[in-house]
A = this chain, B = another copy of it.
Amino acid sequence: MPSARRGKEQAIRTYKLCLLGFGNVNRALVSLLQQKDEWLRDRGIGWNICGVASRRLGWVANPEGCDPAKLQDLNPENSGGSGELADDLQDWLRRSRPDVVFEATSLDPDTGQPAIDYIRAALHAGAHAITANKGPVVHAYRELQALAEVQKRFFRFEATVMDGVPIFSLFRESLAAVELKSLRGILNSTTNVVLSGMEEGLSFEDALAQAQKIGVAETDASHDIDGWDAAVKVAALVNVLMGIRLRIEEVQREGIRGLTGEKVRAALNRGCRYKLVCRAGRDGNSVTASVRPEILPISDPLAGVSGTSSIVSFETDIFPGLTITEFNPGVQATAYGMLSDLIGIADREKSSSALATEQEQ
């Protein structure tokens, strides 16, 4: 969307950003910040990366701001060159004094740790916390949300489901008064790519090997294949959008390991498609949720979603069916989810201070 402010003079607030975890997602975020820098400044948002931390690099803190061009080449040997090496999380937060912490460490579906501790510490230190990690949303959404409110900061997590497609902000900003009754979707790429491969003639094993070869599936793909990733996403959506606490174990879960290429192709010959379908339906204050392979008629919108694309369909009191489909996203889409969280926070703070100024006059 074009900036309406282009050309107008306005104050720029510079946000001190810290990156926790420095894999694909936070690296893509740095590129995206650079790419969108002019747009952000037009909107009154400046940024400075004041800390980067990962298991490999240690806790690099630089309150003056690191050179983003050099960040992508950061490695354990030169990490001190971008700033001081802090002792630990607390020391890192103290030295870098972030306004916003971007948490993108890897997921532990069982506990959500250590990401929960990281986010808790960031909020306690007075920073907004933005995560791409589903663990904290599933295991500690209410606690972290409550802590953020007490701290007058924001806890945001747009990048956790369907990459950066604005699901959470859509319901928060635009569908706030809508009551979500049920949802249905395809939320895991790996299984969807494997199923597409099986439709094209491969066995389960060969389709999985191919997905690993093109970098969609991890070496240990059991997390995806057995439906854990999809179950975590369903639980995240239910916890946030329905406001009902749902633990991962409560999601009925069956992966695609039991399917064969023959079975998948036989369905296709009958005009149907196997998909790993996520479902959740509320009944008063309780919810039933599942992840399992289902045979869908080809006319079902879910059946048309192949490969790394994803889809979610919402049934609400106002809209009988509202469906969002994302085609072939890249890692940039996930990074965008985090960036859009930052923009949303900055907008809130800006409109607040604008009115505060106005009321003081």
Contact = CB atoms under 8 A, between A and B. Distances in A.
A242 B152 CA distance: 34
Contacts of A332: 318
Interface string A318-333: 1111111111111011
Interface in A1-34: 1-2, 4
Given A174-B344, A319-B333, A1 B241 contact: yes
Contacts of A174: 158, 166, 169-170, 173, 340, 344
A178 interface: yes
A222 to B, nearest CB: 29
Interface stretch (A226-234, A262-270, A346-354): A346-354
A328 B323 CA distance: 12
Contact of A165 (B322, B329, B330): B322
Contact of A351 (B172, B301, B325, B348): B348
A175 interface: yes
A304 interface: yes
A301 B302 CA distance: 10
A343 interface: yes
Given A166-B175, A323-B325, 17 more contacts: A1-B172, A2-B242, A36-B177, A170-B174, A173-B174, A173-B344, A173-B347, A174-B344, A175-B340, A176-B343, A301-B325, A318-B336, A321-B327, A322-B326, A323-B323, A323-B326, A353-B355
22 contacts: A1-B180, A2-B242, A2-B243, A164-B318, A165-B319, A166-B170, A169-B173, A173-B173, A173-B174, A176-B340, A176-B343, A299-B304, A301-B301, A301-B304, A309-B321, A319-B326, A319-B329, A348-B351, A349-B355, A353-B359, A355-B355, A356-B356
